[in-house]
Chain A
Amino acid sequence: QKEVEQNSGPLSVPEGAIASLNCTYSDRGSQSFFWYRQYSGKSPELIMSIYSNGDKEDGRFTAQLNKASQYVSLLIRDSQPSDSATYLCAVNQGYGNKLVFGAGTILRVKS
């Protein structure tokens, strides 16, 4: 199984700031990339998906993909205390539609 790497954090940002979360992956054949948010004790919740190089925006969230560098990022604008959670990067691998998850980055937004 190829790896998905994330900085574990915690990443602390003040309320209203931009939070930047990064992820690298090792499988060059991966085509689909996802960001999930997980609150403590809860299940992962899909925030964004991205398949093409470049940026994809959805509200306060922007996902960025660079397949040549095998790099995916998530920007959260106007961060709110409710954004405090663990953010999981997931990469589609293999023939069974398997998602491989990174260990996650803990985000803390301070009010």
Chain B
Amino acid sequence: EPEVTQTPSHQVTQMGQEVILRCVPISNHLYFYWYRQILGQKVEFLVSFYNNEISEKSEIFDDQFSVERPDGSNFTLKIRSTKLEDSAMYFCASSAGQGDYGYTFGSGTRLTVV
């Protein structure tokens, strides 16, 4: 079964450092997303991406965050200057279409900011 691949599975970084989280969505999917889940809390929407541009972003997705699809397969989330409160599980997801299509999530990257 096709899957969404995320790397690394765990990243530890110092506060103020830049991190890049990487994702390879399912190959024929057109819509890409990043979500995060702080330990014990809800899965929260960060950003959606379609046709090489951001479709929608949440209040969490401020100027410290950016996304990129540098080639035909990778989809990255960059956090420029990490804060302690950025510590969370970050999930990448993709879907074949809008509306009735559910997402397939990757296994996640656990980001720990120290």
A46 and B106 form a contact (CB under 8 A): no
Q: Whole-angstrom distance from the CB of B4 to the nearest CB of chain A?
A: 9
A44 and B105 form a contact (CB under 8 A): yes
Q: Known contacts being A95-B56, A96-B56, is A102 close to B107, with CB within 8 Å?
A: no
Q: How many A-B residue pairs have CB under 8 A?
A: 61
A contact face: mostly helix, strand, loop, or mixed: loop
B100 and A49 form a contact (CB under 8 A): yes
Count of interface residues, chain B, beta-carbon cutoff 8 Å: 27
Within 8 A of B (CB), among A35-86: 38, 42-46, 49, 51
Q: Known contacts being A43-B108, A97-B48, A98-B48, is A103 close to B42, with CB within 8 Å?
A: yes
Q: Which residues of A contact B43 (CB under 8 A)?
A: 38, 44, 88, 101
Could you list which residues of chain B lie within 8 angstroms of chain A, going by C-beta atoms? 31, 33, 41-45, 48, 50, 54-58, 91, 95, 98-108
What are the 4 closest A-B residue pairs judged by CB atoms, nearest first? Answer: A96-B56, A96-B55, A96-B48, A43-B105
